[in-house]
Every structure is written in structure tokens, then in C-alpha cells.
Structure 1
């Protein structure tokens, strides 16, 4: 049952119900999950449906509506991380066979916002909009390693089982020690943690904010990433993540000057 208060938070809680695993919800399921009364829920549902955020499907209940697609289109045109990062991904994918991803970090979510594929049948390919796991994989460690110390520890404590299952150790302190190595190197490498047979290299994108805005990641078939090639991927991912971070920082500075 939800503990949110205030109509704005309650409406957002309804939208937060929808996920890849649960794209459809009936009003009865929503009431059971959120604890809203029937009149309250239907009032919020009418608001969301009238504004296009939700729509109804026969025999399936409610699902997300066309306004979400419209906002997604606007975001891809307005988000500087996507605008500046997509050419960076194209350069990375042109250099190495595999999939290059741009991931945004918000709240406690890792979301793929852009990707470029340079092989016909990639083993690893995250479509834009698909959340990525926390704890497993190079992206997760690249982000976690550069969080402020208190946030880093809290994240590891809450996702210890996932972090510990990647060979970084079984305790919070073990994982934090491994993340210190990632912070020193500037990037993280993972073998087959999210997709078997795939090696991934990720580095954070910082911008002017002390907390990572996101990460760049390159995934390749392990057969295409021998020691020399892997070293080249690591170096390029690191360089491009810093280049993108510098570009974002410069844009933030220009925006501040205009304001």
C-alpha cells in the first residue's frame, strides 16, 4: 500500500505502477496496490485519461497513453545529454563492433536514452527507454563509484545482493573497495554479468554536477574483445565520457550565463 500524500504525489504514484512487467492495470488492482478509495482513484484516472497520460483497453484495464509518447519525443529533442551524446555513440560504435549505449541516471534508475549498434545481430542491445539493472553490470558500477560517499554506501546497502553477485565481494565494505578501484580507473568492465558472452565497458558522464548524469557503455562479443582490443575500448570509452561531460559542463555554463 502506498504512503504518498497530496494529489500530485498520488497521481504520480498511479503512473509509477506501469512497468515492463506490468503494462496493464485494472482499477481494482490499483486500489489494492495503492490503497486509494474508489471515488478518489476514479477521479485521478479521469484526469490522467483526459490529459492523455492513460488510456483504456478492452478487457485489459488501463495502460499508458499517447501523451507519454509526445513527451518522449520532446525529451529527445530537448535533452542535451542525448543531443550531445548520440554523435559520441556513433563514433564509438564505428570504431568497435557491438552496441554503444547512453544511459541516464535519475533517482535510483538507470535508463537507456540512446543506443547505436554496429553489428547485424548484437548479443546485447537495450532499446531506448528500457531500464537497466542496478548492481549488475559495468554501467551500474560506473555510476555507483562516482556517487557522493553517503549515497554510494546507501545504494550498495540496498542492492548488496546484486552487487555481491558480480565478484566484488560479499559485504558492503568489499563492494565499496571494488568501487574505489573503479573510481581510480575512471571506468568499469564486466564480463557476462547482464548478457552471457558479452564484455561491457562503461564510464560515467559527469557534466557540471558532482553526481553522474549518466554513463557511456560499449558492449561487445567476448570473441571480438581480446586483451589489446579491450584496452582500446576502455581508453576510448573513458575519453569519450570525459569529452561528453566537458561538453555538458560548457553548455550548463552557457545556460547559467544567459539566465
Structure 2
């Protein structure tokens, strides 16, 4: 973890330690993990508890609080990616027996923010809210392929073992060549890299500055698809990504004109 530099960063660092692997922390454990003094830590914990970001139980530890759920509800109603993309998820799920997902790219993380499924028992290793791996899957490659090289190289270096494991190359140059092919095609395909037996087909969504902000993806059982159907699905996914990008860009332009 990068050493926090100011009070706000230090408070946010308390929230950052909560992960799927570690959902509860005691005060003593937080002091050891973060290196804060007892008075400082408990001042931050009180602030976060009063705001609803944390809750605590007697003789137990701290966990995330209801404010997180409240903000999630507000995000669903305000995130431009969700607002522009939800109808496309519905259309894709109606056309194919699949799960259609919107994934947002923030910091160096991939997070599913919306999904629609037309299967009775959807198979997904990464439901809404669970961070996805950078070195595996169509969603990751659909975004990484469009990042500037100066930002991309550290990410490849950190996830090179994952790229090797799924056969994308033994070196950074090999992975760059693979991503170049994705960039040329405008979409990425992966077979069982994230969820066994599932094919992923994803295309990037951009902001007005042509920076990838997310991805739209279809995941479908490998037994249901052939090469021809994958080509058909990829066309619909790419078109949806283009139209979502256009909607986000138009909304931003309209907003700027009204300021």
C-alpha cells in the first residue's frame, strides 16, 4: 500500500484495507496494518462510523457500514456508463442466451457495475462489485489494448504471470503484440480464462477524450457458440460499445454547454 500523504488519504486508507479476503478488522489489527497511532486511528474510526461507512460490534471488529449501500444505490442512478449502457445489456441478453455485463475501469481496477442475464443459472466468477483480474479475460484485454504505452507497461509487468498462464505470450513484447491485435479488431475474446467453460467477448467504452472508461461484455457457455456465432456476437458487442460511447460523449457535451 502506498504511504498516505494527507489526512483524507489516511482516512480513505482505512476503508481500503477491507477486502473479500479480509472483511473484519479489530482496532489493534488496523493499527498494525496502517501504522497509525491509537488516538489518530480511533479518531478516524469515529468519523467513519458517524458517517455510516463503518460499523462495529461489541468485543469484535469493524466492518463496512450501510452508507456504502446508500452510495451504491445513488451510483446506479447517476453513473453515466450504467445510464447509457443498461438498455444495451437488456438487448444483448434478449438476443443471446448469455449474461451481458458493464465493467468500469477505475484506477487500475476492473469492476462489474451492471449486468443482465437471460440464462436460468448464470455462471460468473465475478458478479457485480467483485474486482476482476487484470491479466485474464476478454474484458481486461479490451481495455488494456487501448491504454497509452506508458500506462500499459507497468500493468503488463505486474500481471505477466497471468498473461503467461493463459497463453498470451512469454514476454512483455509478446503481450503487447497480442493487445495490438485486439486494438485492431476492436474487441477481445477469451475462452475459459476467468470462468471455466465460458466464452467472453468484450469491447471498450470510451469517454470524450478517447480514454477507455469501461467495457461491455457478453459471457456465454462455450458449448453454445461456434466461430460463426462468436463473429456475430462480437459485431453486436462492438456496436453497443460505439453507441454507449457516443451517448456518454453527447451527454458530456450537453452538460458543458449548459455550464
TM bin, normalised by shorter chain, reads over 0.9
Change (3 A) 1:162 1:59: farther
Q: Is the 8 A contact 1:207 1:244 kept in 2?
A: no
C-alpha separation in 2, matches of 1:163 and 1:126: 18
Q: Secondary structure at the match of 1:87?
A: helix
Q: Is the 8 A contact 1:98 1:122 kept in 2?
A: yes
Q: Which residue of 2 aligns with 1:206?
A: 206
C-alpha separation in 1, matches of 2:126 and 2:93: 14
| Offset, 1:68 | 1.0
CA RMSD of aligned residues (A): 1.3
Q: Which residue of 2 aligns with 1:243?
A: 243
Q: Deviations over 1:61-113 (max 9, x none)?
A: 00111111111111111111111111010011111111110000000010100
1:159 paired to 2:127: no
| Offset, 1:126 | 3.6
Q: Which residue of 2 aligns with 1:194?
A: 194
Q: If the length of structure 2 is used for normalisation, what is the TM-score?
A: 0.97
Q: Which residue of 1 aligns with 2:24?
A: 24
Q: Is the 8 A contact 1:115 1:126 kept in 2?
A: no
Q: After TM superposition, which residue ranges in structure 1, 4 or more long, deviate above 6 angstroms? A: none
Q: Which residue of 2 aligns with 1:179?
A: 179
| Offset, 1:230 | 1.1
Q: Which residue of 1 aligns with 2:112?
A: 112
Q: Is the 8 A contact 1:96 1:118 kept in 2?
A: yes
C-alpha separation in 2, matches of 1:125 and 1:96: 20
Q: Secondary structure at the match of 2:111?
A: strand
Report the number of matched residues. Answer: 259
Q: Is the 8 A contact 1:2 1:35 kept in 2?
A: no
Segment of structure 1 superposing worse, 122-131 or 175-184: 122-131
Change (3 A) 1:134 1:59: farther
Q: Which residue of 2 aligns with 1:145?
A: 145
C-alpha separation in 1, matches of 2:3 and 2:99: 40
Change (3 A) 1:167 1:2: closer
Q: Secondary structure at the match of 1:134?
A: coil
| Offset, 1:158 | 1.8
Q: Is the 8 A contact 1:2 1:33 kept in 2?
A: no
Q: Is the 8 A contact 2:4 2:10 kept in 1?
A: yes
Structure 1 unmatched ranges of 5 or more? none
| Offset, 1:210 | 2.5
Structure 2 unmatched ranges of 5 or more? none
Q: Which residue of 1 aligns with 2:228?
A: 228
| Offset, 1:127 | 2.7
Change (3 A) 1:234 1:2: closer
Q: Secondary structure at the match of 2:212?
A: coil
C-alpha separation in 1, matches of 2:157 and 2:61: 37
C-alpha separation in 1, matches of 2:166 and 2:3: 34
Q: Is the 8 A contact 1:99 1:125 kept in 2?
A: no
| Offset, 1:21 | 1.3
